[in-house]
């Protein structure tokens, strides 16, 4: 928990909710909560909405190469070398603040398909649905993923954006991610 001491008299108007996430899996709950606040909801209602929105959000991503996961200490050198030689594209998921493996395939096309399959399992036809595709220097792949996600899920809102430099540094160029939030109006 972060300290609110720096806010002096405004402490009663601030609540901290840890999303245990990043990119637009964190962004969608922030947007939903800001919209609720703008519509006049109380701080307590906004906090409740933010917590539910975080529970209803997720992100699945595929990296182009294992090199950057190795550099960041996420995998060993032998695993990275073997994975790169075999052209393995790991599918990863952020769960409770930790990056967890969700699968691995051998081509970018299969990675996109697998991300969509996993997202369908996580979303489980729940609506309304918002989807964001984020990427690290992979605009064409991001556009493909977004188009396929729109066809498959019929979300009420979508967007595409680049990953932040920090996330991009750890995941590497060519990374694409499908971020979603369901069940929040």
Long-range contact set of residues 2-8: C-beta below 8 Å, sequence gap at least 24 = none
In degrees rounded to 5, what are phi and psi of residue 19?
-75, -20
Q: What is the predicted pLDDT for the residue at 10? A: 64
Q: What is the predicted pLDDT for the residue at 55? A: 97
Q: What is the predicted pLDDT for the residue at 154? A: 97
Beta strands in the chain (DSSP E): 57-62, 89-95, 98-105, 129-135, 157-162, 176-182
Burial of 118 (0-12, 13-18, 19+ CB in 10 A): middle
Q: What is the predicted pLDDT for the residue at 77? A: 46
Q: What is the predicted pLDDT for the residue at 67? A: 61
> What would the pLDDT profile of 144-175 be if each residue is shown by its tens digit?
999 999 999 999 999 999 998 777 766 778 99
Instruction: Give percent helix, percent strand, percent coil of the chain, each to the nearest 5.
Output: 50, 20, 30
Q: What is the predicted pLDDT for the residue at 90? A: 84
Closest residue by Cα to residue 57 from 112, 97, 88, 89: 97
Q: What is the predicted pLDDT for the residue at 12? A: 73
Q: Name the helix (H) or strand (E) containing 56.
A: none
Under-70 pLDDT residues of the chain: 1-11, 65-87, 169-170
Cβ atoms of 115 and 61 within 8 Å: the answer is yes
Q: Name the helix (H) or strand (E) containing 48.
A: helix 43-55
pTM to 2 decimal places = 0.86
Q: What is the predicted pLDDT for the residue at 116? A: 98
Burial of 98 (0-12, 13-18, 19+ CB in 10 A): exposed
Q: What is the predicted pLDDT for the residue at 30? A: 97
Which of the four CATH numbers 3.40.50.2000, 3.30.1180.10, 3.40.190.10, 3.40.50.2300 does domain 57-182 have?
Answer: 3.30.1180.10
> What would the pLDDT profile of 104-122 be if each residue is shown by its tens digit?
898 899 999 999 999 999 9
The residue ranges of every structural domain in the chain are: 5-53, 57-182
- Bond from prior residue into 62 cis (ω within 30 degrees of 0): no
Q: What is the predicted pLDDT for the residue at 3? A: 61
């Amino acid at each position: 928990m972060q300290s609110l001491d720096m806010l002096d008299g405004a402490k009663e108007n601030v609540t901290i909710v840890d999303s245990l996430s990043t990119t637009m899996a964190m962004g969608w709950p922030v947007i939903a909560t800001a919209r609720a606040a703008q519509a006049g909801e109380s701080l307590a209602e906004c906090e409740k909405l933010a917590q539910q929105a975080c529970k209803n959000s997720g992100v699945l991503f595929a990296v182009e190469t294992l090199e950057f996961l190795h550099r960041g200490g996420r995998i060993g050198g032998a695993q990275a070398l073997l994975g790169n030689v075999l052209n393995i594209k790991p599918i990863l998921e952020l769960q409770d603040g930790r990056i967890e493996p969700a699968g691995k395939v051998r081509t970018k096309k299969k990675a996109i398909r697998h991300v969509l399959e996993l997202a369908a399992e996580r979303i489980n036809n729940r609506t309304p649905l918002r989807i964001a595709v984020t990427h690290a220097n992979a605009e064409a792949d991001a556009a493909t993923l977004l188009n396929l996600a729109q066809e498959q899920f019929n979300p009420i809102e979508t967007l595409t954006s680049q990953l932040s430099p920090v996330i991009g540094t750890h995941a590497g160029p060519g990374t694409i991610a499908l971020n979603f939030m369901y069940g929040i109006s």
